[in-house]
Structure 1
Amino acid sequence: MILLFLASGYAQWRGGAPEKLAAACMVVAMLGTFWAGLSSPSYRDVQWDMLLIDFGLLVALSVLAGVADRFWPIWLAAFQLVAVAAHGVSAYNPNILPVAYWWIVGKISYPMVAILAIGTRRHHRRTRYGLQEYAWTYQRHRAASLRVQG
């Protein structure tokens, strides 16, 4: 949680709109997962409340990956898909070891936090050097069409 709060704070401080939005979605999902996990899940059965939270985050990150003019949100959505798939595998085969289910669902967030921090760092570096940076793909397309018309 501490790493996510640090990376999210960094994204809010130095990131663009996609970084800030991804950080907010990840923090909301973490808080929801924390709240859902208060019932001390055993991971012997599918954690349906956590599945809903993970699926919601997957949808949010997938939409972000589709509209953001960045490459890293695709990686976030892909890692989140692995977490959602772990729930599906556990539902399909209840004989999966609880520790494996817990490991995938619980530890997939570490590389996601790293990706958010790296994406924020790269955005900050590009803007610091004065390079043109678009937050959303429609901005890039609009700028390109204005150059063609002009």
Structure 2
Amino acid sequence: MLRIVIFLILLLMASAYALWKGGGPERMMATILLGMLVVDQLVHLLIPAQFASVDTAHLALDLIAALLTFMLAMTAHRFWPMVAAVLQTLPLLAHFSRLADVGMHPIAYLTMQVAASWLLPPLLAAATWRHQTRLRRSGSDQSWQPSSLQSHLPRVFR
């Protein structure tokens, strides 16, 4: 239980920092992470977590998070979203491993699902700090690739 509280504190602090001081990609990632947190809590209220078989609710949540983060990585003018996309893809490997090996121990399945998520808050905090460093050094920091649909994003993500 303590590890969950520690993770939530790290996630909320990194997300708040990104929403306050980050550029568009940092704010977008914070929104993705906070959205995952809210949906995950709703899933736990409605559907009990199951690790003895494939957890389809978390498979769907992890798939959506991986797709959103991959889209962020393809449009952001930053390197770190590619790392975040890989970290968001790792839980999918847990689900597919569970499908392939039904004899997998439930603790191994749980660990594979959540371990990579511990790296996302420090990555987001470091990305936000780097954004602030670039702003101080040059006065600007391009957030999005020139070919991305930047004009269609809400102002908060530009």
TM bracket, shorter-chain basis: 0.7 to 0.9
Give the CA deviation at 1:42.
Answer: 3.3
- Give, in whole Å, the separation in 2 of the partners of 1:107 and 1:34: 18
Aligned to 1:100: 108
Q: More displaced, 110-119 or 127-136? A: 127-136
Matched with 2:90 is 82
The percent of aligned pairs where both chains have the same amino acid is 29
In terms of Rg, which structure is larger?
1
RMSD in angstroms over aligned alpha carbons?
Answer: 1.6
Tell me what 1:62 maps to: 70
Query: How many Å apart are 1:129 and its aligned residue?
Result: 2.0
How many residues are aligned here? 140
* Structure 1 residue 107, shift from structure 2 partner: 2.4
- Note the residue ranges of structure 2 that are not aligned, 5 or more in a row: 1-7, 149-158
> So what's the TM-score if we normalise by structure 1?
0.87
Tell me the distance in 1 between the aligned counterparts of 2:132 and 2:103. Answer: 46
The equivalent residue for 1:16 is 23
Deviating above 3 A after TM superposition, structure 1's stretches of 4 or more consecutive aligned residues are: none
What are structure 1's unaligned runs of at least 5 residues?
141-150
In structure 1, what is the equivalent of residue 152 of structure 2?
A: none
Alpha-carbon distance between aligned partners in 1 of 2:44 and 2:53, rounded to the nearest angstrom: 13
Q: Which is further off, 50-59 or 108-117?
A: 108-117
TM-score, normalization by structure 2: 0.83
Q: Using the alignment, how far apart are the partners of 1:116 and 1:4 within structure 2?
A: 9
